Structure 1
């Protein structure tokens, strides 16, 4: 087991989390399209990984009602879409980091993404590129704070200290993206949580 994705898969499955390893983003998209039924309500968390798959238009072509707050017009609609994600039939997102010992580590500013991951939607599918697989919890938190958050801050033009400095400063900024940390160590009891690991880099 020299392959870090294979190690993560074994550990996640030992923790009750169904895990599939694929080679390409196209295979990850095909997995989602197989798992989602026509007409279902689908929530999409803030995720460059899901965006990169280009799966949303195909889901809509199947008659799925997609709640994706990145499409919202104005703060009220964005908030409504975030709330709608919590009651979707299927929730699609990524994880900020996946450890080789089988943990999913996620940090949110608002909390809709991590909330939907653990309870609400009956089925959750997390698509994670190989760049997000790290050895352990310490490396996962370091990745979140010093890679993912600064890059997202720059993308969103938040002006947060990490976006400027390129690393975490443990700020008290009003726009701080690291407000809620959720570590999934075992499958949540009422959620069909599935992980798709992709042998390419995806997202932050």
Structure 2
């Protein structure tokens, strides 16, 4: 763990957010299994990090009840989003994490970001080192350059960024940049963990 990551963890802890560092994806998966031992119902927010870690399958094998809208047909997604938001534990990632400890996110529907601060009993945010930025301004720049465009392309959306790879602050009907949140301290009504992994994960 380098000095920058150490400072991020210390700043998160000052904000009453439980923060830990893990060298590898195997180590963070083990920690999540241990942390969720007593949590039967698991909600998951849209996250390439979770998909890359295959966490939904790992937890399913542990007998957990999984609610993730990525796993169901389009007509069932709103129902599953609502169930995920009231789960015992909610797993997701963050679009950016500042060195001072802010979790910065941009969302299209809003289910992921809202569940990060209200609804579930506990939230675990898994963040690869590629998502650490110096401040909120650089966090926003990162999201609009490195997160939203590739995500729009992956989803096959007809937005300018899916074609150009750059944010155009569009007015497209399929625009993804609808809701921006900054979590700057532990939400009052839930337990919040941030697990930083020492390798790139997600967008």
Q: TM-score, normalised by structure 2?
A: 0.96
The 2-side partners of 1:39 and 1:138 are apart by 36
* Contact 1:104–1:183 (8 Å) recurs in 2: yes
Gaps of 5+ in 2: none
Per the TM alignment, residue 61 of structure 1 is displaced from its structure 2 partner at its CA by 2.0
Per the TM alignment, residue 125 of structure 1 is displaced from its structure 2 partner at its CA by 0.2
The 1-side partners of 2:178 and 2:55 are apart by 29
Gaps of 5+ in 1: none
The 1-side partners of 2:95 and 2:109 are apart by 15
Q: TM-score, normalised by structure 1?
A: 0.96
Aligned to 1:122: 121
Is structure 2 residue 201 aligned with structure 1 residue 199? no
The 1-side partners of 2:42 and 2:134 are apart by 31
Output one character per residue of 1:30-68: Cα deviation in whole Å (capped at 9) or x when no partner.
111001126611011111111111222221122211001
The 2-side partners of 1:128 and 1:22 are apart by 10
The 1-side partners of 2:79 and 2:53 are apart by 24
Q: What are the within-5 Å matches in structure 2 for residues 128-143 of structure 1?
A: 128-143=127-142
Is structure 2 residue 42 aligned with structure 1 residue 42? yes
Q: What are the within-5 Å matches in structure 2 for residues 19-168 of structure 1?
A: 19-37=19-37, 40-73=40-73, 75-168=74-167
The 2-side partners of 1:146 and 1:62 are apart by 37
Q: What are the within-5 Å matches in structure 2 for residues 162-181 of structure 1?
A: 162-181=161-180
Aligned residues: 203
| Secondary structure class of the residue paired with 1:12 | helix
| Secondary structure class of the residue paired with 1:118 | coil
The 2-side partners of 1:107 and 1:2 are apart by 28
